[in-house]
Structure 1
């Protein structure tokens, strides 16, 4: 599949364009015509790359200059329940960079995409330095509220996803400061729910760089996720089952990546082999991904269920992550997942009110809609949507992008085509 990408001057980044064959045939021309993005809706990778640029550039450009707090137009939920708004900037940067990291780790080249990647990586590295420099205006709220614990984990998750691109190039002072801030986050009390994974992610990252880490925080999180496993690929968020997308936002991706670090370093978890627990977690995540794919309608819409719907396409982080890792279940061919996720992205992001006039994300779902925001949400929280773009960490030549587009399950079902039956699993 041929693609051509057009970029203007790198600092203005007017947009990415492409020419390609049909993708996600359920997306109408009318939908594409209303896009605020310059990439045509027919090309999945060009569209996602433009979306990545649109999310990332205003944040990283300003933060690298120490101007994010000055320029970021803070928007709070109408039911905002926190006194300290400083957490918004850590949420914005930490969540954004967690989704960008795999793409930033791709090798440099002289293509337009390569030049954009090099620019954004340099901005990201400077942003990391500013984030822990007490003398910089964009020094983040490391001593604030227990929300700091949540978003420190996305911060370290990014470093763990792209260590050679985002950790190794940092200077020694910045590295020392980051380590100190992450260890300092241990001061915050843990929620008895998915928050256990945020603490464990920080410790797993410390393990990954050879630092002293707290094994009990990792072991406890892993053990509780096993205890809270509800069956058929779903994990409860604490003692109660919640029908929402927190298995996508936090539980499955973080659990798998934490276990991967434990297995890589041969660190037993309560005397059990970490690779055995990792392999079971992967199987369960694959099963959950089968459910996610079946939730996507022929038009690319999906159920508006549960908390944090304003996180938008982060609901599909597990599918994007397993695509990136080449670990999609055999029941989900790459071309089918790509087409389904492209339909989701165009359905959600075609409304220009998802962004402010100066390019920052707004509170909402498929457009600006602050009334659906939760009491803990601000527009910095919205940058977790970048994790729906993790598959951009695969180069344009990868089979995920070049294989033929296939209809996804609901599209087949409602077109009267054969589609696979579904059964619960016992693992």
Structure 2
């Protein structure tokens, strides 16, 4: 009898939990949560840079065994990575909604901060000129300009534009790692090409040729000569390769077929990422750089932003899956310090898992998971009814499309 009471009590608890989990949440509520969370992450970086207090106020946490020149690189990391994720949202037109007002303020502060970042007289003049790491983070700045040219590049005054161009060209005095870093150099040069500036075609072509050579199949690129099982295909390779090839196609410097193949591969990779979201809204913490947190989903977010998801991956299931992940990671305070800055870790303060190149500024790659805020509030990504993501359907015994490998 005692067993039966316990058993039925557990059934009751389970049913209550399931009922709570099935509570309907609208896409508008999801969007409000995404906006609040992205603002929470980005605000300290953007606001302080606008006020020339980034160097003064940003904490300088670094991984055990950290091997870079911290104060020469971490601030540009924070800027480039933050704005690359903000850019699609910032690019939306102004409106009188509370979100619209917040977005306008964020854009205005970011533009002010960008001027400070390349002004040699500013307390927050950022380093592009020495060290290897700026090759990486200048590329994220350039990526943001490509994602939101009318919001982030065109409004800059001519002096600030000239300064950015000079800083980007100064990167040519250095080389980086023989892996995904080739794309960083290529993308920055691609941005220069897009605005009619002199660019280095060798850096561009070399990066594309090596990515073609390093493709191993079924949407996976090797990150250099040896394959690494991690999230760098999403952190860097697919989004930057696709967007670089788009510039080249637009400028008639590459065939359309190259872009089409790269896009197909990113879409296939997006399928993998969607399937990696567990029924509970978690995902595997494997590979290098897991401190980049939600940047792991950049390729999925970009495919959805471009409205290029496969027809059997509904926008709503991507929204719901990512929202569940974001709640797990950002509802509490475990990933923030008492002043709102991100801390080293995956889901908490876990400095032991940070890589030797990781510091506070590095962590702001997390914004790349939020690209879908660039879809307006009336897009079906936000308006469609909630839908279960693939692993949730699979573990609940629902119909799921059989997975497959692709040959392109």
Q: What is the TM-score when the length of structure 1 is the normalising length?
A: 0.89
* Distance in 2 between residues matched to 1:371 and 1:342, nearest whole Å: 27
Q: 1:207 aligns with which of 149, 174, 193?
A: 193
Please list, as runs of the form range in 1=range in 2, the aligned pairs for 1:267-346 lying within 5 A after superposition: 267-268=253-254, 273=255, 275-346=256-327
Asked if 1:247 is matched to 2:247, the reply is no
Deviation at 1:42, TM superposition (A): 9.3
Contact 2:27 2:384 (8 Å CA) reproduced: no
Q: Aligned residues, how many?
A: 391
In the alignment, the residues of structure 2 paired with residue 40 and residue 131 of structure 1 have an alpha-carbon distance, to the nearest angstrom, of: 39
Greater helix share, structure number: 2
1:193 aligns with 2:179: yes
After TM superposition, give the deviation of residue 322 of structure 1 in Å.
Answer: 1.2
Match of 2:7 in 1: none
Distance 2:399 2:312 in 1: 14
- How many angstroms does 1:344 deviate by? 1.4
Query: How far apart, CA to CA, are the structure 2 residues paired with 1:315 and 1:293?
Result: 11
| Deviation sequence 1:14-57 (CA, Å, 0-9, x none) | xxxxxxxxxxxx99969x9xxxxxx9999321111001110122
Aligned equivalent of 2:336: 355
| Residue 113, structure 1, aligned to residue 99, structure 2 | yes
Which residue does the alignment assign to 2:53? Answer: 67
Structure 2 counterpart of 1:167: 153
Q: Which residue of 2 aligns with 1:10?
A: none
Gaps of 5+ in 1: 1-25, 33-38
Task: Give the distance between the partners of 1:222 and 1:228, measured in 2 at CA.
Answer: 10
SS of match in other structure, 1:286: helix
Q: Aligned partners of 1:29 and 1:382: how far apart in 2?
A: 33
Aligned-pair CA distance for 1:113: 0.9
Contact 1:98–1:154 (8 Å) recurs in 2: yes
Tell me, yes or no, if the aligned pair for 2:116 and 2:124 is still in contact at 8 Å: yes
Task: Give a deviation string over 1:106-165, Cα, whole Å, max 9, x none.
Answer: 001111111111111110001110000011010001123100100000011111110100
- TM-superposed CA distance for 1:311, in Å, is 0.3
1:50 aligns with 2:36: yes
What SS does the corresponding residue of 2:60 show, helix, strand or coil?
coil
* Partner Cα distance (1:72, 1:364) in 2: 17
**Shift of residue 218, structure 1, vs aligned partner:** 1.0
Give per-residue Cα distances to partners, 1:318-376, cap 9 Å, x unaligned.
11111111111222111111111111111222331211111111111112211110000
Consecutive aligned runs of 4 or more in structure 1 exceeding 3 Å deviation: 26-30, 39-42
Q: Kindly state the Cα deviation for residue 82 of structure 1 after the two structures are TM-superposed.
A: 1.6
Report whether the alignment pairs 1:365 with 2:349. Answer: no
TM-score (norm: length of structure 2): 0.93
Mapping of residues 2-151 of structure 1, within 5 Å: 43-151=29-137
1:386 aligns with 2:372: no
For the pair 1:229 / 2:182, whether they are aligned, the reply is no
Does structure 2 conserve the Cα–Cα contact (< 8 Å) formed by 1:27 and 1:299? Answer: no
| Residue in 2 that maps onto 1:13 | none
- Structure 1 CA distance, aligned partners of 2:261 and 2:128? 35
Deviation at 1:395, TM superposition (A): 1.0
Matches within 5 A, 1:393-408: 393-408=374-389
In structure 1, how many angstroms separate the alpha carbons of the residues matched to 2:265 and 2:329? 27
Whole-angstrom CA distance in 2 between matches of 1:352 and 1:242: 31
Instruction: Rate the CA distance shift 1:134–1:278 in 2: closer, same or farther, 3 A.
Output: same
Equivalent position SS for 1:230: strand
Q: CA RMSD in A?
A: 2.0
Task: Return the alpha-carbon distance in structure 2 between the equivalents of residues 409 and 201 of structure 1.
Answer: 33
**Distance 1:27-1:73 versus aligned 2 partners, 3 A rule:** farther
3-state SS of 2:369 partner = helix
Determine helix, strand or coil for the equivalent of 1:362: coil
Conservation of the 8 A alpha-carbon contact between 1:27 and 1:343: no
CA contact (8 A) 2:27 2:382 kept: no
Classify the secondary structure of the residue corresponding to 1:169: coil
Q: Distance in 2 between matches of 1:41 and 1:308?
A: 31
What stretches of structure 2 of length at least 5 have no aligned partner? Answer: 1-16
Partner residue, 1:18: none
* Distance (whole Å) between structure 2 residues aligned to residue 98 and residue 84 of structure 1: 21
